[in-house]
Structure 1
Amino acid sequence: MEHADLLGLGAAVLLAGLLARLARRYGLPSVPCYMLVGIAFGPGTPGPVLVEHPAELSLLAALGLVLLLFHLGVEFPVDQVVGGGRRLFMAAACTIGLNVGSGLLLGLALGWGVPEALVIAGALGISSSAIVTKTLIELHRLTNAETPVILGIIVIEDLFLAVYLALLSPVLSDADTAAELAGDVALSFGFLVLLFVVARFGARGVGALLGSREDELLAVLTIGLVVLVAGVSQEVGVSDAIGALMIGLVVSRTELRERVERLVLPLRDVFAAVFFVTFGMTIEVADLGPVAVAVALAVCLTVLANVSAGAVVARLFGFNQRAAANMGLTVLGRGEFSLILATLAIGAGLDDRIGPFVALYVLFLAVLSPLLAAHARYLARIMPDWMLRPGWRWCFPDETLVRAPLGTSRK
């Protein structure tokens, strides 16, 4: 990397951090800020260009992607998912099914191709854990009755992401025949199963390999193992993100989990910022206009799918209109996972419109979702009683769940 690229990268990351700090004051997430700086100062936008060739930053961006997924695996609450019960899995299946299904239909309707439709389905189907959690904290809803269900759903979505990436990677490969594609799918899932087995039975060995009393050595050994497994995953035709996520699950089952999580978090945040800035630099501003209508449709579909899922989940758990509206509008945020899928699509040489489409979609929802979630009570007012379980009613202005007779009037 030349000194000019180092200068430009440093300036871009600094500007991204300053913009994110400003956005935090107004309750906005940092991911769109990083992307905006990348777009504004990338080669695809008129004006000053900080990095002429963003492709030269691909290794640093890949490291950000790998650390992002690894940290997700480390903090993945397996016990919470397993203990969530059948209703939680039904709720997550409903939410994922409606979002991924609507995204797939939109992708096919756009006519960009089947692989592109699968990427769009994933981009529309997975909520941003960071944005959802941040929204719950800032709106002071952590103690609401529906919040554990929301958190359980986004955790299961993260698990679904691993399976979806394993399925999508062979589809994005260069397989020429159906038999070759089937072989790639089998290899992908075989590697995924192998990593699950290691997570189940090999955690002690991995803990012994990484174990060190010195934080410096633990960090070096951990990052080395993560990058190695991600590289092996890529070599066998599986996404490097899958390998990073699964080795994170392995580490989460060791006694080193809390130390690793603490040590890797700052590295994840820095390199993830580089990933988002670099992704923004690959976007041509002129390409955003042609996908604006498609993005508007995608946003409308996402809102409709999540509001519908919120009503179904509320009925399943016996919640009222306020909880149903909160659930439907809180999980609208899309971010890191949608951009990961877009990055894979760009790397596989799919339709050039995928990158601008996902970028504009993420930017729009990252700003819209906290605003809608903060005003969920207006949606709750117009939700009809038949959508929810009989006997539960919405009562204003109390934030808590209130059971009232069906004949009770709303205040």
Structure 2
Amino acid sequence: MFSEFPTLLGTGLVLLGIFYLGFLSLKINFPSVILYILFGVMIGDWLSDNKLLHFASEIGIVLLFFILGLEFSISRLGSIAKKVWPAGLLDVFLCLGMSMLISVGFGLDLFSSFVIGSITYATSSSITAKLLDDRSRMANTETEYILAILIFEDLIAPILIAIIIGINVSGSFQMTDVLLIAGKIVTLVAVAIFLGKVTLKYADTLLDKIADEDFKIALLIGVAISFGGLALYLGLSEVLGAFLAGMMLAEIGRIERVEHTVIPVRDLMLPTFFVYFGTTIEFGNGLPLPVLLASLIVWSLISKVLVGIIGGRWYGLSKKVSLRAGLSLCARGEFSVVIASVATGTLKIFGGIYVIIIAFIGMLLFEQAPKITNKFYPKKTKNKNLRVPGS
């Protein structure tokens, strides 16, 4: 068993497994992310609560969103925020509120329904961002909208987690707790804007002076991890902190130098996140609430597609691009796992089974999104065989 192995040997075997699965995904043209998650599920009994794997996964997800943040300067993020909030509220209503109503309709109490609604709410930021990168869709028209929805959800999800933990611990939750979390988010964003506009404007010159890549790696990854860690310290998501760190460095210009240094480390560490994600999923004994589970899986897919179709149009996207965005938002992941982990009993098992099923279906829909949208909105082709009148 891995638990009896030296930590170094266990780590090496996991990395070799990641290499093989990555190579296999290329051969069979199957999403590597799904294989990594299934690998984690298989080895979960041996590597559950593995601190080294958890630490590596944290660095991987932080660097992923740090790189994403580099694409969004402060001014660009501000313009996006003005455009995305109506779609973000629609997302909360459809994916959280309606899932709660479905759960209440199946006889669950209000708090259990809120927990299930929270589990079904947020799209997986890590899975979606990884697939956008792997499938070379970062430059697509819908990508800005998708990332805007992900960041909006990253602001809401910590509030949901805090409410659930507060009720679990004390049996109640005060409005002041929500205001406290909101204040932390505003403070973190304000610090990022200040550093980006004032302090880090000198980083451009500093990077030019550093010839040794080792020092650059320490500086840039140190900034990403520190800000992600600061967000965790404040009780927020490390994903949000890492994104804001990237946004800060986007202000220095010539971001390709930063990407050149950080991307190789990200590519090494990121697969460990999906493996660790798999190790956290517990199936338990049997399938709890099967009819409710099936109903929520169907509604989870429909609701995210509606967020894409309706919210995308509000955002200014075409009908075709909006549909492609909705089909790309269906996978649930890390926040659902975190919320399920603070639940108890049947709800925890229910959450784990829900996540693995919806993550799998969501990734398949992401893969097929361009083909599906082309069927609904086929490309207009010019008739090359036009005949001259009278000929």
Q: 1:357, CA displacement in angstroms?
A: 2.0
Aligned CA distance change for structure 1 residues 16 and 309 (closer, same or farther; 3 Å): same
Which residues in structure 2 correspond to 1:8-407 (within 5 Å)?
8-43=10-45, 49=46, 51=47, 54=50, 57-76=53-72, 94=90, 97-106=93-102, 111=108, 113=112, 116-124=115-123, 128-132=128-132, 134=134, 137=137, 148=141, 150-174=142-166, 181-203=174-196, 204-206=198-200, 208=202, 211-212=206-207, 213=210, 214-255=212-253, 257-286=255-284, 289-290=287-288, 293-309=291-307, 311-312=309-310, 319=318, 325-329=323-327, 331-334=328-331, 338-345=332-339, 348=342, 350=344, 351-353=347-349, 354-371=351-368, 373-378=370-375, 380=376, 398=380
The equivalent residue for 2:389 is none
Q: 1:301, CA displacement in angstroms?
A: 1.5
RMSD: 3.9
Aligned CA distance change for structure 1 residues 249 and 109 (closer, same or farther; 3 Å): farther
Aligned-pair identity in percent equals: 22
Moved more, 33-42 or 10-19: 10-19
Find the aligned partners of 2:50 and 2:105 in 1 and give their Cα distance. Answer: 32
Report the 3-state secondary structure (helix = DSSP H, G, I; strand = E; otherwise coil) of the residue aligned with 1:159: helix
Q: 1:278, CA displacement in angstroms?
A: 1.4
Aligned CA distance change for structure 1 residues 169 and 99 (closer, same or farther; 3 Å): closer
What is the letter of the counterpart of residue 362 of structure 2? L
Q: Give the conservation status (yes or no) of the 8 Å contact 2:300–2:330.
A: no
Find the aligned partners of 2:217 and 2:27 in 1 and give their Cα distance. Answer: 32
Q: Give the conservation status (yes or no) of the 8 Å contact 1:74–1:252.
A: yes
- Alignment deviations for residues 179-234 of structure 1 (CA, whole Å, 9 cap, x no partner): 97434333322222122222323213145479442332122123233333333333
What is the letter of the counterpart of residue 341 of structure 1? F
Find the aligned partners of 1:242 and 1:344 in 2 and give their Cα distance. Answer: 15
Aligned CA distance change for structure 1 residues 253 and 31 (closer, same or farther; 3 Å): same
Aligned CA distance change for structure 1 residues 332 and 296 (closer, same or farther; 3 Å): farther
The equivalent residue for 1:390 is none
- Alignment deviations for residues 73-93 of structure 1 (CA, whole Å, 9 cap, x no partner): 233365556556977765665
The equivalent residue for 2:385 is none
Q: 1:296, CA displacement in angstroms?
A: 3.4
Find the aligned partners of 1:131 and 1:108 in 2 and give their Cα distance. Answer: 34
TM-score for both structures, normalised by structure 1: 0.72
Q: 1:355, CA displacement in angstroms?
A: 2.7
Greater relative contact order (Cα < 8 A, sep 6+) = 2
Equivalent pairs counted in the alignment come to 366
Q: Give the conservation status (yes or no) of the 8 Å contact 1:206–1:250.
A: yes
The answer for unaligned runs of 5 or more in structure 1 is 44-48, 381-393, 401-411
Q: 1:61, CA displacement in angstroms?
A: 2.7
Report the 3-state secondary structure (helix = DSSP H, G, I; strand = E; otherwise coil) of the residue aligned with 1:284: coil
Report the 3-state secondary structure (helix = DSSP H, G, I; strand = E; otherwise coil) of the residue aligned with 1:113: helix
Aligned CA distance change for structure 1 residues 324 and 263 (closer, same or farther; 3 Å): closer
Aligned CA distance change for structure 1 residues 180 and 318 (closer, same or farther; 3 Å): closer
Q: Give the conservation status (yes or no) of the 8 Å contact 1:230–1:243.
A: yes
Aligned CA distance change for structure 1 residues 81 and 220 (closer, same or farther; 3 Å): closer
Q: 1:122, CA displacement in angstroms?
A: 2.6
Find the aligned partners of 1:280 and 1:207 in 2 and give their Cα distance. Answer: 40
Find the aligned partners of 1:342 and 1:249 in 2 and give their Cα distance. Answer: 25
Report the 3-state secondary structure (helix = DSSP H, G, I; strand = E; otherwise coil) of the residue aligned with 2:252: coil
What is the letter of the counterpart of residue 258 of structure 1? E
Q: Give the conservation status (yes or no) of the 8 Å contact 2:60–2:273.
A: yes
The equivalent residue for 1:387 is none
What is the letter of the counterpart of residue 144 of structure 2? G
Find the aligned partners of 2:19 and 2:291 in 1 and give their Cα distance. Answer: 31
Find the aligned partners of 2:90 and 2:340 in 1 and give their Cα distance. Answer: 29
Q: 1:280, CA displacement in angstroms?
A: 1.0
The answer for unaligned runs of 5 or more in structure 2 is 383-391
Report the 3-state secondary structure (helix = DSSP H, G, I; strand = E; otherwise coil) of the residue aligned with 2:192: helix
Report the 3-state secondary structure (helix = DSSP H, G, I; strand = E; otherwise coil) of the residue aligned with 1:352: helix
Moved more, 51-60 or 76-85: 76-85
Aligned CA distance change for structure 1 residues 281 and 9 (closer, same or farther; 3 Å): farther
Find the aligned partners of 2:342 and 2:185 in 1 and give their Cα distance. Answer: 21
Find the aligned partners of 2:291 and 2:62 in 1 and give their Cα distance. Answer: 32
The equivalent residue for 1:391 is none
Q: 1:68, CA displacement in angstroms?
A: 3.0
Q: Give the conservation status (yes or no) of the 8 Å contact 2:158–2:235.
A: no
Find the aligned partners of 2:147 and 2:292 in 1 and give their Cα distance. Answer: 28
Aligned CA distance change for structure 1 residues 36 and 312 (closer, same or farther; 3 Å): same
